[in-house]
Each structure stands twice: as structure tokens, then as C-alpha cells.
Amino acid sequence: MQLYSVFAIYVLFWVTALFIILPIGIRSHHETGEQMIKGQSDGAPVNFRPWRILLRTTLLATAAFAIFYLNYIYGWIDMDTIDFFNSRDRMQSI
């Protein structure tokens, strides 16, 4: 696998992990009982910690990418493993 491909796939894992991590641990003003500032959105978070989110996202993306890359190297799961409907055989017979 080329280095550019590795980087592009890692970025996809990172963005996916970001959307998984973002809602975890966020509290709104209604949940914490704090006063809202005039003009503030109802869903604005009280305890937004971007560095913690970036760290958790990076850890999750790195772990998921490591599993993906090890599967790429060792071939634990390949197309024949997940081809439940024998679509490869049907495509070759056409």
C-alpha cells in the first residue's frame, strides 16, 4: 500500500471517529442548570473540551486503522469470507 493511500484511509478513519466521539460527554445548559446568555442556542455545550475530543478521536482512529492495516497485511478477512451470496462466482460466469 502506498503512503498516500495509508494517509487517505487514516483520514477517513479519523473523521469517522470524530463523528462518533463528538456527542460523548457534552452537556447542555438545561442539563447542568447554568444560566444561558441572551441569544445563545439551546443546544450550545457548557463543557466543550476540544483537546480531549481530539485526543479521544485520534486514539480511536489509530486503533481502528491499526486493525484495518493488520487485516490488510495478514488477510484475516477477505472478499471470500464476507461473500455470502457467491457474487464473485456469478460475476465470473457471465
Amino acid identity for residue 45 in this structure: P
Whole-prediction pTM value?
0.78
Model confidence over 22-68: pLDDT tens digits? Answer: 999 888 888 888 888 888 888 788 888 999 999 999 999 999 999 99
* Bridge partner list, 45: 28
More confident residue, 16 or 83: 16
Domain count for the chain: 1
48 DSSP 8-state letter: -
The C-alpha cell 446568555 sits at: 37
- Structural domain span for residue 24: 3-93
Write out 50-94 in H/E/C secondary structure.
HHHHHHHHHHHHHHHHHHHHHHHHHCCCCHHHHCCCCHHHHHHHC
